[in-house]
Structure 1
Amino acid sequence: MLYWVLKHIFLGPLMKLWCRPKIEGRKYVPESGAAILVSNHLAVADSFFMPLKMSRRVTFLAKREYFTGRGLKGALKRYFFSGIGQVPIDRSSGAAAQAALDTGVRLLREGRLLGVYPEGTRSPDGRLYKGKTGVARMALEANVPVIPIAMIGTDRANPIGSTIWRPFRIRVRVGKPLDFSRYEGLAGDRFVERSITDEIMYALMELSGQEYVDVYAAKAKDDLETQGRVITKRADPSDRQEADRLPETKAG
């Protein structure tokens, strides 16, 4: 109930007025049935604008910290994130990561649209980073299509560290569904899951126009913090340079 109230009455109209979001390729999102919506991750705003432009509800797996705050502030935060379709997961250990994947598969088997950021965290500099293979595992175990989505402009509207969004035009670009049914029964095969993930990241790179970096985003963030650099530069899609290694165009 809260999801639809926020989307259509309170937050949604304000977001449309402020950032004038536009969607391309919405026809590729199924009107019924399960699918994984994979997206690049530039800003917190991604989790608001992507579902805003979908006709169906999108469920995201969100870090547990969003739901564990204390007092009135914690309760309001928990109520809000639950209301916008986020499900808490623990990412602190290998066992917790497996539990998160199991939760994702369960949601998919319920016929839901599951939103996933394969990079695992926001890009520190606007480039596209190496994808984690959990998305491939869920796609294989639930036997569902993967739909690539490029968020464009959210880093301009909601730069890292900002609390107030800026009035910048946002685009949500949806690509053709990726079918990995040819690998049915191969969930758990690391080579297959890496190949699938690389194919997904290649599709995101093509849709978003981002430069691809064959390093995990979390490591890139740690390296930047270690070097004491301030993360302010945003990559310009029109000035993309070829990376040392690009993700595979086709799994297998």
Structure 2
Amino acid sequence: MIYEALKFSIGGPLKLAFRPWVEGLENVPAEGPAILASNHLSFSDSFFLPAVLDRKITFIAKAEYFTTPGVKGRMTAAFFKGVGQLPVDRSGARGAGEAAIKSGIEVIERGELFGIYPEGTRSPDGRLYRGKPGGLARVALATGAPVIPVAMIDTEKIQPPGKVVPKLMRPGIRIGRPLDFTRYQGMENDRFVLRAVTDEVMYEIMKLSGQEYVDIYATAAKRQIAEAAKAEREAAKAEAKAQAQAQARAVAGAGGKDTAEQDKAGS
């Protein structure tokens, strides 16, 4: 009941304001379990995809969305709880991964739709990054549920980092055909199989999204970007300091020249 109410009160206005276009909606089964594996460009991905589906979809959400203080934090927590999102504490990487897998299996066993972002975090630059082999593949192989690749299009342009007011534009959603991995069932502890399943799903997402693929994890890319930005700031700071020192020496030199000329004139 809460989910339907929130979907009507938030999903309806969202579709009316942004008018997202959708391709392949027929690939989502009308009933029965399935895993929707999507690229991740924006925080709004978790709003737009549920808004265009007739069925409830449950995503794993980081625990901070449920514990942030203040009015905005309470509203965010209420929304995620209302739409059935599951909090996972990501402070311990292994524990968080196991909790996410367990939660995903439970959703599938209830015959529902489970949503997951194989990249593990939002893309820092709009490109598609290497999928993490743990959650997606292990849930798929443990349950036998089909995996449906999903591509979010242009959602990162609606509210870029640093922008408070979202830009009114039409994002897109492409939903691919279900992928069957039952041939690998019982092999969820084989890391080579997990890697193969994940890569196959990421390849389908790449074809749907048209994104450039980068064969590193998005978390590593974020570190590289942060380190490059830090190095650039430090270089700019060093250059500014060097210019200030050069200017100070020039001023000091000019002052010394003036003093020498005054001494010469006085003599």
TM-score bucket (shorter structure): 0.7 to 0.9
Instruction: State the Cα distance separating 1:91 from its structure 2 match.
Output: 1.9
How far apart are the structure 2 equivalents of 1:112 and 1:14? 25
- Is the Cα–Cα contact under 8 Å of residues 34 and 109 in structure 1 kept in the other structure? yes
Instruction: State the Cα distance separating 1:171 from its structure 2 match.
Output: 1.1
1:128 counterpart residue number: 128
Instruction: State the Cα distance separating 1:106 from its structure 2 match.
Output: 1.1
SS in 1 for 2:35: strand
Q: Could you list the per-position Cα deviations for residues 33-64 of structure 1 after superposition, in whole angstroms to 9, with x for gaps in the alignment?
A: 11100001000111101111111011100001
Q: Could you list the per-position Cα deviations for residues 201-228 of structure 1 after superposition, in whole angstroms to 9, with x for gaps in the alignment?
A: 0000000000000010011011101111
1:117 counterpart residue number: 117
- Any stretches of 5+ residues in structure 2 without a counterpart? 231-267
What fraction of aligned residue pairs are identical, expressed as a percent? Answer: 51
- Is the Cα–Cα contact under 8 Å of residues 119 and 132 in structure 1 kept in the other structure? yes
2:52 paired with 1:53? yes
Which one has a bigger Cα radius of gyration? 2
- Any stretches of 5+ residues in structure 1 without a counterpart? 230-252
Instruction: State the Cα distance separating 1:96 from its structure 2 match.
Output: 2.7
Q: Could you list the per-position Cα deviations for residues 107-153 of structure 1 after superposition, in whole angstroms to 9, with x for gaps in the alignment?
A: 11111101100001110000000001120011001110000011112
Instruction: State the Cα distance separating 1:73 from its structure 2 match.
Output: 4.6
How far apart are the structure 2 equivalents of 1:158 and 1:50? 16
2:39 paired with 1:40? yes
How far apart are the structure 1 equivalents of 2:163 and 2:143? 37
How many residue pairs get matched?
228
When normalised by structure 1's length, the TM-score is 0.86
1:243 counterpart residue number: none
| Equivalent position amino acid for 1:54 in 2 | L
- Is the Cα–Cα contact under 8 Å of residues 43 and 160 in structure 1 kept in the other structure? no
SS in 1 for 2:77: helix
SS in 1 for 2:37: strand
Are residues 115 and 193 of structure 1, via their aligned partners in 2, closer, same or farther at CA, if it must alter by over 3 Å? same
2:194 counterpart residue number: 193
SS in 1 for 2:207: helix
Instruction: State the Cα distance separating 1:71 from its structure 2 match.
Output: 5.4
How far apart are the structure 2 equivalents of 1:100 and 1:46? 19
| Equivalent position amino acid for 2:34 in 1 | A
2:226 counterpart residue number: 225
Tell me which protein shows more helix as a share of its residues: 2
- Residues 1-252 of structure 1: pairs in structure 2 closer than 5 A: 1-8=1-8, 10-70=9-69, 72-93=71-92, 94-133=94-133, 134-228=135-229
SS in 1 for 2:199: helix
Bigger mean CA deviation after superposition, 22-31 or 199-208: 22-31
- Is the Cα–Cα contact under 8 Å of residues 20 and 170 in structure 2 kept in the other structure? yes
How far apart are the structure 1 equivalents of 2:26 and 2:72? 39
